[in-house]
Amino acid sequence: MFEDKRIQEIKYILKGMIEDTGRKVLKEIVEEDRWGFIINCGGLYLFLVHHFGEKKMVIYYEITFPEKVTEVISKECEDPLKRNEFLFGLKSALFSPFVMSSIKYDEGNDEVTGFIIWKHIYPFHEDFGIVKLDEAMQAVTNQALLALSYIEAIFGAKMVEQEIVEQITKNEPDGMYR
């Protein structure tokens, strides 16, 4: 595990780099097994998280669709062909060689409930710098906006704007994804 002094140094450096890219650290979160920041990036809330004992950090964006959107998706996906088309389109919107992603499903009935997009960075490595941090934040944000645009295109911008935009612009999140 890293020394507390080294972690404090990395926190200070990362905060400065984030601000130097024109973004804001909205909140710092410290939990038993990890610490991180919530960052406003392109109107979305990104998380930058470090699990104690690891040399990497993860930048991620996560959305859980509001119930209204989930209901529309479920209704649209009742037909197996339409479900396959929807999932293919969503996976295509989420896929990128620059980030990793995962579709979130409701455990009970296999309904699509949201998605997560993430990228690893290595701020404890001597070659890490502001350019790598900025590229990672841009990659996650751009892919999230592409996936949200796909949802808008399928279900209509008006419905999605009312429901999802409220979700992504609400007060900053309280905790971090596990």
CA 134 to chain centre: 15
Whether 85 is covered by a domain: the verdict is: yes
Residue 175 has pLDDT above 90, yes or no: no
In a domain, 25, yes or no: yes
Token look-up 């999802």 returns: 164
pLDDT at residue number 12: 94
User: CA 97: distance to chain centroid?
Assistant: 16
Q: In which band, very low, low, confident or very high, does the pLDDT at 172 lie, cut at 50, 70 and 90? A: low
Concatenated DSSP letters of 41-101: ETTEEEEEEEETT-S-EEEEEEEE--HHHHHHHHHHTTSHHHHHHHHHHHHHHH--SS-EE
pLDDT in tens, 85-136: 999 999 999 999 999 999 999 887 788 889 999 999 999 999 999 999 999 9
Domain residue limits at 53 = 4-169
Structural domains counted in the chain: 1
Over 90: is that where the pLDDT of 73 sits? no
Question: Does residue 149 lie within any of the structural domains?
Answer: yes
Residue 176 lies in a domain: no
Asked if residue 50 belongs to a domain, the reply is yes
Confidence (pLDDT) at 174: 53
Burial bucket for residue 74 (CB in 10 Å: 0-12, 13-18, 19+): middle
DSSP-derived pairing of the beta strands 112-121 and 100-105: antiparallel
pLDDT of residue 76 exceeding 90, the answer is: no
C-alpha 67 chain-centroid distance = 19
pTM confidence score: 0.84
User: pLDDT tens digits, residue range 158-170?
Assistant: 555 555 555 555 5
pLDDT above 50 (res 74): yes
Q: Stretch 32-51: mean pLDDT, rounded?
A: 91
Across the chain, mean pLDDT equals: 85
Q: Does residue 100 fall inside a structural domain?
A: yes
40: CATH: 3.30.1460.10
Angle (CA) 111 114 115, round 5°: 125
SS3 110: coil
pLDDT class of 1 with cuts at 50, 70, 90: very low
